[in-house]
Structure 1
Amino acid sequence: MGKNYHEYLWVGGGLDTNFSCMNIPGRTIWKEIIKAGKMADDTGASFSSSFSKKLGNGNTILFWDEIWCGSERLGDTFHRLYMLESNKDATVADRIINVNSTSTSNWCWVRPPRGRALNEILELNNLISSVTLTDQSDSWKFNLDSTGIYTTKTLSQIINNLKLGIHASAILIQRNKFTPQKVNFFAWRVIQRKIPIRVELDKRGIDLDTILCPLCDTDTETIDHTFVTCPKTSQIRELILTWWSQAITSITNLGDVIINNQSFTSNNIGSSLWQATKWIVCYIIWKHRNLKVLLKKEWSPATIVSEIQTQSYSWISKRSKKKKPIEWQQWLINPSSYVVTSSHRVGVG
């Protein structure tokens, strides 16, 4: 096959995920690239078709077989001319020549075009008439970002948006310094949908007595139901919002539960504390879900909220470095007032 696998994997406008990894011996980086590309495509991100060639001097872009002018390969659009081409591997620089700052075509046919092929020449000449080659090398353009530059951060944001909804673009999932590592990790697992929800266990062939939500016993247990639409979760959320003096608003997706901190957009400390509280809410809801499954024990929403208040105070106060410590009574009555009046430095924790 040749040693330069990338020449086979990058086809037209992106990554050729139909290329068989079996053709590549051993565990090479290109196998991993193909695998990662397919995984990204499965999220709906269209990663494999997200790259296109950006024309520079035209020395490395195939004139007929790569997408560089328009949305299709010229060999497909002008099929009759393609069949008459003497060198189907000709580059753009082979077929377009700059003369006195003017682009001129440089055709090489196996025989002179005639009939409908003459009409195709007129159309093709008109299409490439505005093309100007430069002294810069050809490059790749990432079409999913306005800058045209690919970064892992950008792709992560795109995938988060697809999975979580529009609020995912507001902030990347990053460690919250007010919560312990286990809560940070749990929030990440929720976002990635990597917790053992009954529906997912059932899909994997695990025999369960029921796939109903153990918290409410009224609907199928999915991750969106558990943290977004479950009636018991909704009761807990309303009590938490009231405790924080926040308006009771409808929650539609996981992005609202884990990421969206728009109530405190003007206060970074407030956003971090509010996010920490929401993550702790999810963590303790999942804890009580497991207690219901394993021990058949059940607590009221008010009791669970009381535990959330106590646990959040313990974790957050230990990780907050300020001259005056957080007062328990102030935290219990109205933590949002603490956010407004405090001026402290966040600890690493």
Structure 2
Amino acid sequence: MGGGGLESNVSCRNISGRTVWKEIIKAGKIADSTGASFSSSITKCLGNGVSIKFWNDIWFGSERFSTLFHRLYMLETNKDASIAERITHSNGSSVGNWCWTRPPTGRATNEITELNNIVSSVTLSDKQDSWKYNLDPTGIFTTKSLTLLINTPRLGSNALSLSIPRNKLLPQKVYIFIWRAIQKKIPVRLEIDKRGIDLDSTLCPLCELNIETTEHILSSCPKTALIWKLILDWWAQDYSLISNLNDAIINKQPFALSNFGFSIWQATKWITCYIIWKHRNLKVFSKKTWSPGSIISEIQTQSYSWISKRSRKKKSIEWHQWLINPSFFVADTPHRVGFG
């Protein structure tokens, strides 16, 4: 949101920038997990009352005075009057400075009594009016809290857990694929079927035994599991290290590695998922043979190419060592490079 002139952290900002905030609020109308709207998440903080409309802005309670005191509003001569124009201080207390087209009568007199009681409790200050962000206890607006507000209805209450740090050893396309896989957004047959698209079968195109889900195709399919077994053999690790999608993508450091080494380990896993999906598509759309040997060779070659080119420690990565055991030369490397 920085491109729109907003700072990433805004706390009760001066309303001189009200036009920008109005556009955000107008476009907001996004329900959070409690059913509240984004427009109710940013409210005005009363200062001197110069920039807030007495009748048409929400500044006291949850309703506009134009709605709450409709009869008085119809009698108002200046419906856009500011709070500073309608509230004055007299003898140490706040009183209404009204300007009616005619004196209130009938039920409007009841409204004026209630309104005067509210006005008497209001205190204006010398500070300028400002904004407050209600979805954070600090009152500070952050793009992270807004992202959570938008994502929670779409991704569920675990939206934050779906956020993963960027691995700088990989190209953007691999990171995007992994991000989509975590959200179950890659077009496996189950997801396509859920969207009402007719398929001949929802079974996995590799094993043809189980429904094809993201979890199945990237981790638990027997043919995919064989790829992971060969990867773990290559890294000299136990076969049980990767048994589900969480292990394959977002599991924490499973064995002793430096920060740099863990970045390489994670990059290798993500590349494995990416290439598994690539070869799954080749089999589905081009009828290519699923060959574990060629897939492992491609993972080793492609991962070495991407990692060595992007690593500031690329001189320490030797091709023959990479083929023997990648963890051999990264386990005791203290240099941090991987995450951004």
Partner of 1:77: 68
Matched AA of 1:131: V
Partner of 1:112: 104
Matched AA of 1:177: K
In 2, the alpha carbon distance for the partners of 1:303 and 1:150 equals 50
Identity of aligned residues (%): 55
Matched AA of 2:334: S
> Which of 244, 267, 276 matches 1:276?
267
> Which of 32, 42, 51 matches 2:42?
51
> Which of 83, 90, 94 matches 1:92?
83
Matched AA of 1:57: N
> Which of 326, 330, 333 matches 1:342?
333
In 1, the alpha carbon distance for the partners of 2:192 and 2:172 equals 26
Change in Cα spacing, 1:167 to 1:217, as seen in structure 2 (3 Å) is: same
CA-CA distance at 1:178 after TM superposition: 1.2
Deviation sequence 1:59-84 (CA, Å, 0-9, x none): 22222222222222233334444445
Change in Cα spacing, 1:196 to 1:132, as seen in structure 2 (3 Å) is: same
Change in Cα spacing, 1:324 to 1:231, as seen in structure 2 (3 Å) is: closer
Are 1:63 and 1:91, in contact at CA under 8 Å, matched by a contact in 2? Answer: yes
In 1, the alpha carbon distance for the partners of 2:116 and 2:135 equals 30
Q: TM-score, normalised by structure 2?
A: 0.64
In 2, the alpha carbon distance for the partners of 1:143 and 1:77 equals 22
In 1, the alpha carbon distance for the partners of 2:224 and 2:159 equals 21
CA-CA distance at 1:333 after TM superposition: 5.1
Change in Cα spacing, 1:347 to 1:84, as seen in structure 2 (3 Å) is: closer
Are 1:45 and 1:162, in contact at CA under 8 Å, matched by a contact in 2? Answer: no
Q: Report the count of equivalent residues.
A: 314
State yes or no: 1:60 paired with 2:51.
yes
Partner of 2:25: 15
CA-CA distance at 1:92 after TM superposition: 1.7
Partner of 1:325: 317
CA-CA distance at 1:283 after TM superposition: 0.8
Secondary structure at the aligned position of 1:141 is classed as strand
Gapped runs of 5+ residues in structure 2? 1-17
In 2, the alpha carbon distance for the partners of 1:304 and 1:45 equals 49
In 2, the alpha carbon distance for the partners of 1:213 and 1:125 equals 71
Are 2:53 and 2:83, in contact at CA under 8 Å, matched by a contact in 1? Answer: yes
Are 1:321 and 1:345, in contact at CA under 8 Å, matched by a contact in 2? Answer: no
Matched AA of 1:106: N
Deviation sequence 1:288-342 (CA, Å, 0-9, x none): 220220233454879856754564345324433336436866886573x765411
Partner of 1:176: 167
In 2, the alpha carbon distance for the partners of 1:332 and 1:172 equals 33
Change in Cα spacing, 1:168 to 1:338, as seen in structure 2 (3 Å) is: farther
Change in Cα spacing, 1:346 to 1:292, as seen in structure 2 (3 Å) is: same
Partner of 2:3: none
- Larger radius of gyration between Structure 1 and Structure 2: 2
- Structure with larger RCO (C-alpha < 8 A, sep 6+): 2
State yes or no: 1:136 paired with 2:135.
no
In 2, the alpha carbon distance for the partners of 1:157 and 1:262 equals 26
Secondary structure at the aligned position of 1:290 is classed as helix
Secondary structure at the aligned position of 1:140 is classed as strand
CA-CA distance at 1:91 after TM superposition: 1.9
Are 1:167 and 1:259, in contact at CA under 8 Å, matched by a contact in 2? Answer: no
Are 1:168 and 1:259, in contact at CA under 8 Å, matched by a contact in 2? Answer: no
Partner of 2:279: 288
In 1, the alpha carbon distance for the partners of 2:114 and 2:206 equals 66
In 2, the alpha carbon distance for the partners of 1:329 and 1:171 equals 34
Q: TM-score, normalised by structure 1?
A: 0.62
Secondary structure at the aligned position of 2:284 is classed as helix
Change in Cα spacing, 1:321 to 1:147, as seen in structure 2 (3 Å) is: same
